[in-house]
Structure 1
């Protein structure tokens, strides 16, 4: 019965496939980065720069 409530959305996925895999991966990297620096960054600007540099594997090789 509950599945019927989502029937329209489930069938729409086949018409227009959109994956949130990349976004979920980025969110996971951010969570892991925050967890690794449990005490926090002293400078918020540095944390922001680290977030912008997530795609650079030399910086985030141990993150996600």
Structure 2
């Protein structure tokens, strides 16, 4: 089914659909692998984003220990209960 959609998008005259077809063909293996494993990096990406935002907010602070404590407080039980 995916190959049919890709071919259909490639044959279309709309440039954006042709670009999508190229992207889908490039990541075809990963797209189909999700249906076998159902793994997502969404939680990890969310944690990384929260860490980056906190780093921006604390820019200029010199106390690295304080940053570490704030990082631990940011990732409390509610966020990381399934992460070990």
TM over 0.5: yes
Give how far 1:14 is off.
Answer: 0.5
Alignment of 1:15-34 (within 5 A): 15-34=36-55
Unmatched 5+ stretches in structure 1: 57-64
Unmatched 5+ stretches in structure 2: 1-20, 77-84
Q: Once superposed, which parts of structure 1, at least 4 consecutive aligned residues long, lie more than 6 Å away? A: none
Q: What is the alpha-carbon root mean square deviation over aligned residues?
A: 2.0
Name which structure has the greater RCO, CA cutoff 8 Å, separation 6+: 1
The separation in 1 between residues aligned to 2:49 and 2:26, in whole angstroms, is: 30
The separation in 2 between residues aligned to 1:5 and 1:43, in whole angstroms, is: 45
The residue aligned with 1:9 is 30
Query: Structure 1's 55 and 6: CA in aligned 2 closer, same or farther, altered over 3 A?
Result: closer
Give how far 1:5 is off.
Answer: 4.2
Please report the TM-score for the alignment, with normalisation by the length of structure 2. 0.54
